[in-house]
Every structure is written in structure tokens, then in C-alpha cells.
Chain A
Amino acid sequence: MPHQRNSSIQNPEALERQRQYELFQESLPKVNALVYQMLLNEIIPLSSHVENQLQTIPMEEFSEDQTESQLKDLSLEEKQVSNPSSSDQLIYKLSQLADEDENEFNNTLKRVRDIGIKLGTRLTNLLVFTNNVNLNFKEMDLLLIMKFICRDVWKQIFGKQIDNLKTNHRGTFYLIDYDYALIQDFCIETNTIPSQLNEEVITSKELKLVEPFLELPVGIIKGVLLSLGYPLEEVICLATFIDKPREKIRNGFPKGISFHVQITKPNQQQ
């Protein structure tokens, strides 16, 4: 949050620039944040749908009969009318795939991650040109880059910062978000679960369903690192569920998320 970092700015001129920057940010055109969140979440069923399409129709058949495929599209849309929860169904199907067809499951996750990477790369560009007085990309070392992700990137996309950043100062970082924004409103449809299951099984099922949604922020982290000089193959990023601290447990999704980032070849030149 810019306010917290004000403490590092002493002179009134810098403070004035900071104020100007905030005013400018406020004056920019805006859209509804909820719509943006929904758009981000819809990336996951979309990727799964695309993967399905590519699996069922081999590429060569695409161009053969355009009019016929157009007709098929129309009838597809009509089917959707009686089937309003199709994006939910895609998600449930996706979690089943994890056990049945690992290949297709992984392809879908990769698709989501690729969108995240593209998004992360462009977001760096966007933030570089914002004139934020607190950002100086020239002398950014890895730790500062991670802080940049935790504060500025997360704030832009998810409306909040990462709650906690841990590091061993040797290229391993843990970014912990106790209320990762995009999954806070999720709940599992009870009628899809056999009633005899106990709570533990339900929770693990629920977590399995949410897993694909974590590939997007993973991609974003890798994308930002890529745009700041850390190639994709040198960065390992994994998301895992962690327990929330007791005071946060009542709200939203029952688990927090920990993003484990590891740079495998620390940039020695810097």
C-alpha cells in the first residue's frame, strides 16, 4: 500500500509527487472490479473447453466445412439454454480428469498458466510506465522484485497485497496469501457429493476443484519474473494450500495459499 511506504519518503517534494501519482491513478478510466474478477475466473473453464475442443476435433477437420461447423455452433448454443451451469460442469469435469486423463488435465493447466504468464509480462510493462515514485526498476534485485510482486502486482490484479513474504536469501521465496481474492466466494455444490461422505473427504474434493484456479497466479508470478530477466525455465513456482491463522478462519475460503517460488540458477552477474 502506498501509504505505508510514505514513511520512506522524507522530503515534501517526493510527497507531492506521490500525491500527484495517486490523484492521477484515481483519474484514470475505471470498470467494475467484480466484472474483472469474473473474467479472470472464467479463464479456467474456457481453457478446459478449448482443450476439449482440440481433443475431440483433430486440426485438419477445422477448415473442411465451415458452413457446417457454423450450423453445429448454432445448435450448440441452443443446447446451452437448458444447461446454464456449463462452466461449473467444466470445472467438475476438469477435476475428474486429474485422475483419469492426466495429459489433458496438464494441458489445460498449461493453457491457464500461459495466459497468466502473458498477463504478468504485460502487467510489468504497465506498471513500469505508471510513474510510481516508489518503484525503481533500475536497481531491482531479486528480493525487491518479489516485493514488487507482493505489493504492486497483487494490488493491481487482486485488490490486496500478499500477506506474508518469507525467504532464505538463497533464491527461495514463500508468498503467502491467506485470502486469495478469486476463490473467496467459492463453495461446492452439495448435490454432487454423496451424502455419506465425511467432512474431510468433502474438503479434499473441494481443494481439488480449486487447484486449477491457482495456475493463473502462478503464471502471473512467472510472467513478471520473465519480464524482469528470469527466464521461465529457471523459475519454479508451485501453489499449495496452507492453514489460515485462527483469526481469519471464519471468512471466505477455508484455506490460504502459499506460492513457493524458487530461482534455480541465481543470476550471478547481478
Chain B
Amino acid sequence: MSKSRSSSLSAHAAALSSKSTANQSKFFKTLGEDIWKNKIEKINAELFVMTYGVIVQQLCQDLNNDYIKINENLFSMGYNIGVRLIEDFLARTALPRCPNMTMTSEVISKVAFKIFLNITPQIENWNTNRDSFSIILTENPLTEFVELPQDAMKQLWYSNIICGVLKGALEMVQLDCDVNFMTDVLRGDLTTEIKIKLNKILKDEIPLGED
């Protein structure tokens, strides 16, 4: 047990120090797939879609179709999940701190999305500073079989919970980011795009209430 762990750690170190991004990328891909295949308890995606659908439906009902409020609620729901989920992520992957956003983006798409939702979205649209990029969700397990009514198509970000999760999780690793949906196929757009923009790197702090 301890042996396999130390060997996997040295593999980590080798891949992470490697200069070639192609190497890194491949390493993250196998890491994500390996964890998903061997270490994750799974449930039917259909049940997941259905449950999320029920939650959004109830929100629409309770908040009288005020989609701005609904977006906000979905976001904060995700945020609360994200700040907890990151612990599980770090424990499972044993990945060290990413030195730059390029690597962060690779870890998000190839490891995080893989082990939690079993998808590997594309990373695109880097800006010149390389602190902002887009995640293109070619498949989205939250929206299988989902169709929005006409009025919701204009304002509702149905999968906004994902932005919240990303925001919360990134913040826990000291990355203060803006995370927003740009487009969503549910609204009739051609792609589903989430934009992540790094605002600043937070200082290491002792969490509130832990003196």
C-alpha cells in the first residue's frame, strides 16, 4: 500500500516537472480515467438528471419563475458543494498545487470533470495573459433529456450549479476566479461554454473559526 502510494507520488512529480505539456496532458488523462474506473462509487446518470431536474423545478415554483434569483440559488448551492468537494478531490488525486492556470485548466477538465461527472470537456479561448479560459461542455450530464420553456430560455442558466462548484472549489485552493456561463445549448446556442477568469491568488489563510 505505502509502496504503491510512494511510486504514484514519484510518477506525479516526474509528470509535473516535465516541460512538455503534451506529457502532462496525457498524465492527467490517465490519472482521471484510472481514478474513475477503480476508485469511484457510481450511480446511474439518469437518477442524477432527474434529481437535479426536480430541484430546479421546485425552485421555479417557489421563486415564481424569477430566473435571476433561481440562477443565484443554483450558484450558491454549487458553491457550497464545491468547497467540500475539493477535499475529496485532493485526497483522491494527491495532486500538488498547480504552478499556472494552464495546468489548472488541464486538471479541471481531465481529472476533476472526469472523476465527478465522467466527462472531459474541451479547454479553449485563452486570453493573452493566460489567466482566463473557457470550458466547452460537449456533453453535460445535467441536461440529458432537458428542454426549457420559452421564457426560461432567455434568462435561466440551467446548469449554473456547475459554475458554483468550480468557484467554491477553486477558492479553496486560493484561486479567486469569476466563473460564468457564456452560452448553453439549452438556450439554443451552438455550444455550452463556461468562462473562468482568475482575479487574484489569495493568500494562505487559516480558515474562519479555526484559531
Contacts and interface: CB of A to CB of B under 8 A. Distances in A.
Given A28-B45, A30-B45, A49-B73, A123 B50 contact: yes
B84 A39 contact: no
Nearest to A87: B80
Contacts of A73: 68-69, 72
A85 B80 CA distance: 7
B41 A119 contact: no
Contact of B58 (A81, A115, A191): A115
Residue of B54, B57, B66 with most chain A CB atoms under a 10 A cut-off: B54
Contacts of A189: 209
Interface in B80-95: 80-81, 83-85, 88
A220 B40 CA distance: 26
Interface string B34-60: 000000111111111011101101110
Nearest to B75: A77
A127 to B, nearest CB: 10
A86 B42 CA distance: 28
Contact of A32 (B42, B52, B58, B161): B42
Contacts of B115: 32
Contact of A50 (B59, B118, B208): B59
Contact of B208 (A25, A35, A84): A84
B188 interface: no
Given A35-B117, A70-B68, A122-B50, A42 B77 contact: yes
B209 A31 contact: no
Most buried by A among B51, B81, B118, B141: B51
Contacts of A114: 58
A31 B116 contact: yes
Contacts, number: 141
Contact of A59 (B42, B52, B64): B64
B203 to A, nearest CB: 13
B34 to A, nearest CB: 14
A69 B68 contact: yes
A115 B171 CA distance: 30
A43 interface: yes
Contacts of B161: 39
B40 A32 contact: yes
A197 interface: no
Q: Is the interface of B mostly helix, strand, loop or mixed?
A: helix
A186 interface: no
B199 to A, nearest CB: 10
A167 to B, nearest CB: 28
Chain A interface helix/strand/loop/mixed? helix
B207 interface: yes
Contacts of A77: 72, 75-76
B62 interface: yes
A23 to B, nearest CB: 14
B131 interface: no
Contacts of B83: 84-85
Interface in A47-75: 49-50, 53-54, 59, 62-63, 66, 69-70, 73
Nearest to B84: A38
A33 B41 contact: yes
A40 interface: yes
A34 interface: yes
Interface in B157-180: 161, 168, 171-172, 176
A81 B176 contact: yes
A159 B47 CA distance: 12
A198 interface: no
B209 A35 contact: no
A29 B52 CA distance: 16
A43 B161 CA distance: 12
A149 to B, nearest CB: 15
B54 A118 contact: yes
B80 A45 contact: yes
B63 interface: yes
5 contacts: A30-B43, A40-B51, A81-B176, A83-B208, A86-B79
